[in-house]
């Protein structure tokens, strides 16, 4: 069993924010796999968050995945993740956290296992509760240019010209998810970037 966590803030006013791209992608996974999942549960309140179970067909068989959107707010996500992990007795190396990444250009996609938080408070919180050895799916949102602009930038909705790549990237992650669940991480990275290449930076200005 895998645990896939999307980072974001729970109130509806944050739904379209850059900081909520993790929630948006986890929602796409729930929509794509939930309709065909045998015994899949709807979103429900649990583990101080919203969770849903999906089943994904891979080359090695049907794999159960718990999707989680912490409701503890972004910077305290670790409490929710730890609760889900302990209840289901999921191994830490089968945890994947999807989050926005200031250090990557908008639409850039990278997978990473372990390491530091790079200043991301959600990752910092999860690492404090789990240790660092979990998977991260990093979604580039770009940097506003100065540190004092970061908070309003991440808490602002994606502009219209970014919404297309968010949609395309979400669909690409849906399509490549079986590779991730079969531990074909290089193939997962390659397929996603092939299906949804990052837009030309000039087009995001």
Per-residue pLDDT at 205 exceeds 50:
no
Contacts of 90 (CB under 8 A, 6+ apart): 1, 2, 3, 66, 84
Per-residue pLDDT at 202 exceeds 90:
no
Catalytic position from the list 19, 88, 99, 143: 19
Angle at 62 between CA 135 and CA 94, to 5 degrees: 20
pLDDT tens track for 77-96: 999 999 999 999 999 999 99
Distance between CA 136 and CA 13 in Å, rounded?
25
Per-residue pLDDT at 37 exceeds 50:
no
Higher pLDDT, 202 or 193: 193
Let me know how long the chain is: 205
pTM of the model: 0.94
Angle at 46 between CA 45 and CA 51, to 5 degrees: 75
Residue 132, token pair as written in the block: 């660092």
Mean local confidence (pLDDT), 5-33: 96
Neighbouring-strand partners of residue 38: none
Give the three-state DSSP class for 28.
Answer: helix
Say if residues 22 and 98 touch (Cβ distance below 8 Å): yes
Domains and CATH numbers, the chain: 2-204 (3.40.50.1470)
Nearest to 68 by CA among 95, 36, 40, 92: 95
Mean local confidence (pLDDT), 118-122: 93
Distance between CA 199 and CA 112 in Å, rounded?
21
Distance between CA 68 and CA 122 in Å, rounded?
14
- Mean pLDDT over the full length of the chain: 93
Q: Is 19 a catalytic residue?
A: yes
As a whole number of Å, the end-to-end CA separation of the chain is 41
Mean local confidence (pLDDT), 138-143: 97
């Amino acid at each position: 069993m895998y645990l896939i966590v999307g980072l974001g803030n729970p109130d509806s006013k944050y739904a379209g924010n850059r900081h909520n791209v993790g929630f948006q992608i986890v929602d796409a996974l729930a929509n794509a796999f939930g309709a065909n999942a045998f015994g899949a549960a709807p979103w429900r309140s649990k583990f101080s968050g919203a969770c849903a179970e999906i089943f994904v067909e891979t080359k090695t068989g049907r794999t159960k995945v718990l999707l989680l959107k912490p409701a503890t707010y972004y910077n305290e996500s670790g409490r929710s993740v730890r609760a889900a992990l302990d209840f289901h007795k999921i191994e830490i190396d089968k945890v994947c956290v999807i989050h926005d990444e200031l250090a990557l250009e908008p639409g850039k996609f990278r997978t990473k296992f372990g390491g530091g938080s790079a200043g991301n408070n959600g990752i910092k919180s999860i690492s404090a509760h789990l240790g660092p050895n979990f998977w991260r799916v990093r979604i580039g949102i770009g940097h506003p240019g100065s540190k004092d602009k970061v908070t309003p930038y991440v808490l602002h909705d994606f502009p219209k010209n970014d919404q297309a790549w968010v949609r395309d990237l979400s669909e690409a992650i849906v399509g490549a998810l079986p590779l991730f669940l079969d531990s074909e991480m290089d193939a997962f990275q390659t397929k996603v970037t092939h299906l949804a290449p990052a837009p030309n930076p000039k087009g995001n200005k």
